[in-house]
């Protein structure tokens, strides 16, 4: 899709539009040019994902952190996941330090305070079958795009994030504007997107150059979304409720 009112708006103008500070002529451009409007939506989605990351959706539940501190997390993979997370996440680290102080005050023994690090696994676990199940994150109204009632649907699996912006279509139907966010961006270009309801294909499309895709319209409700890249495993969003 090309800008219908060249020159296309600049990255700075896109940032300004997201922050609500765009000049009148930029706003008018976005209103009249589908290509630049899509760029703004995409940039907004990326920003939303970053915000969600800052909102710690990757963090272990507070209760689980507490159990970790007390040495009660015995499954090695989980213990390791939490330990690695703590190396990266300042907020959880602070929380654990607080918990430690609290536990010391509560006269919990020192041995329990510092769980033994588990021996690193020789073979990191990988599903042997051809699918990865994505974790669907709760929809956050606070992250809604301007004008949308609900925030985007986000799902995450093995470092790949899928953002789905559900948009209303005629007669109670919806369309999905999707964005795949991954380090290996290119490997998702051309991936097959299949949307099923109770096993029956509702819509298919492919992921475009900018790792985004458009799917629908189809009736709102519960669906399964599968994204299959040319190389690698199919990413499955098992059960998502799409309503606009
Ligand atoms: Zn334009
Ligand atoms: Zn954390």
ipTM: 0.59
Q: Are residues 135 and 242 in the same domain?
A: yes
Which residue range forms the structural domain that includes residue 13?
1-50
Span 94-140, pLDDT tens digits:
888 877 766 655 543 444 444 444 444 333 333 335 667 777 776 65
Give the Å distance between the CA of 98 and the centre of ligand 2.
14
Torsion of CA 14, 16, 17, 21, to 10 degrees: -160
According to the model, what pLDDT value does residue 10 have? 95
Q: Residue 35: how many CB atoms within 10 A of its CB?
A: 15
According to the model, what pLDDT value does residue 84 have? 86
Q: Are residues 93 and 44 in the same domain?
A: no
Is there a domain that residue 119 lies in?
no
Is there a domain that residue 76 lies in?
yes
More confident residue, 147 or 244: 244
Q: ∠202-154-85 over CA atoms, to 5°? A: 140
Give the Å distance between the CA of 52 and the centre of ligand 1.
29
Give the Å distance between the CA of 56 and the centre of ligand 2.
6
- Distance between CA atoms of 62 and 151, rounded to whole angstroms? 24
- Per the CB < 8 A criterion, the answer to whether 143 and 156 are in contact is no
Give the Å distance between the CA of 40 and the centre of ligand 1.
10
- Distance between CA atoms of 185 and 15, rounded to whole angstroms? 22
Count of structural domains, the chain: 3
Mean pLDDT computed over every residue of the chain: 78
Q: Establish whether the linkage from the previous residue to 14 is cis, with ω within 30° of 0.
A: no
* pLDDT of 142 strictly over 60: no
Cα–Cα distances in Å, from 139 out to 20, 61, 196? Answer: 23, 17, 21
Q: Are residues 100 and 204 in the same domain?
A: no
Angle between helices 62-69 and 76-88 (to 10 degrees): 110
According to the model, what pLDDT value does residue 45 have? 85
More confident residue, 145 or 185: 185
Ranges 21-35, 85-99, 107-121, 154-168, most confident: 21-35
Q: 113, 139, 154: which is the final residue of a domain?
A: 113
| Ligand number nearest to the C-alpha of 35 | 1
Is there a domain that residue 55 lies in?
no
Q: Are residues 106 and 147 in the same domain?
A: no
Q: Are residues 130 and 232 in the same domain?
A: yes
Is there a domain that residue 81 lies in?
yes
According to the model, what pLDDT value does residue 17 have? 93
According to the model, what pLDDT value does residue 53 have? 60
Is there a domain that residue 121 lies in?
no
Q: Residue 48: how many CB atoms within 10 A of its CB?
A: 22
Q: Are residues 172 and 195 in the same domain?
A: yes
Give the Å distance between the CA of 99 and the centre of ligand 2.
14
Q: Are residues 239 and 148 in the same domain?
A: yes
Q: Are residues 154 and 192 in the same domain?
A: yes
* pLDDT of 13 strictly over 90: yes
Query: Strand 131-133 and strand 135-137: pairing?
Result: unpaired
Percent of the chain with pLDDT over 90: 16
Q: Are residues 202 and 155 in the same domain?
A: yes
According to the model, what pLDDT value does residue 26 have? 96
- Distance between CA atoms of 224 and 237, rounded to whole angstroms? 6
């Amino acid at each position: 899709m090309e800008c219908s009112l060249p020159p296309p708006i600049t990255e700075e103008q896109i940032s300004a539009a997201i922050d609500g500070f765009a000049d009148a002529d930029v706003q008018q451009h976005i209103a009249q040019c589908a290509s630049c409007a899509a760029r703004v939506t995409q940039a907004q989605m990326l920003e939303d994902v970053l915000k969600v990351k800052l909102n710690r959706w990757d963090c272990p539940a507070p209760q689980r952190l507490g159990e970790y501190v007390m040495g009660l997390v015995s499954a090695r993979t989980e213990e390791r996941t939490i330990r690695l997370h703590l190396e990266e996440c300042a907020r959880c680290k602070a929380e654990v330090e607080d918990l430690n102080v609290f536990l010391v005050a509560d006269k919990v023994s020192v041995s329990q305070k510092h769980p033994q690090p588990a021996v690193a696994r020789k073979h990191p676990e990988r599903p042997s079958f051809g699918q990865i199940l994505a974790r669907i994150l709760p929809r956050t109204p606070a992250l809604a795009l301007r004008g949308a009632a609900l925030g985007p649907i986000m799902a995450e699996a093995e470092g790949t994030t899928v953002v789905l912006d559900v948009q209303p279509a005629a007669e109670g139907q919806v369309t999905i504007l999707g964005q795949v966010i991954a380090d290996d961006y290119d490997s998702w270009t051309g991936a097959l997107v299949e949307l099923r309801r109770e096993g029956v294909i509702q819509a298919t499309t492919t992921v475009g150059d900018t790792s985004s895709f458009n799917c629908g319209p189809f009736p709102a409700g519960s669906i399964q979304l599968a994204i299959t890249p040319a190389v690698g495993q199919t990413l499955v969003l098992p059960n998502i409720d799409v309503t606009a």
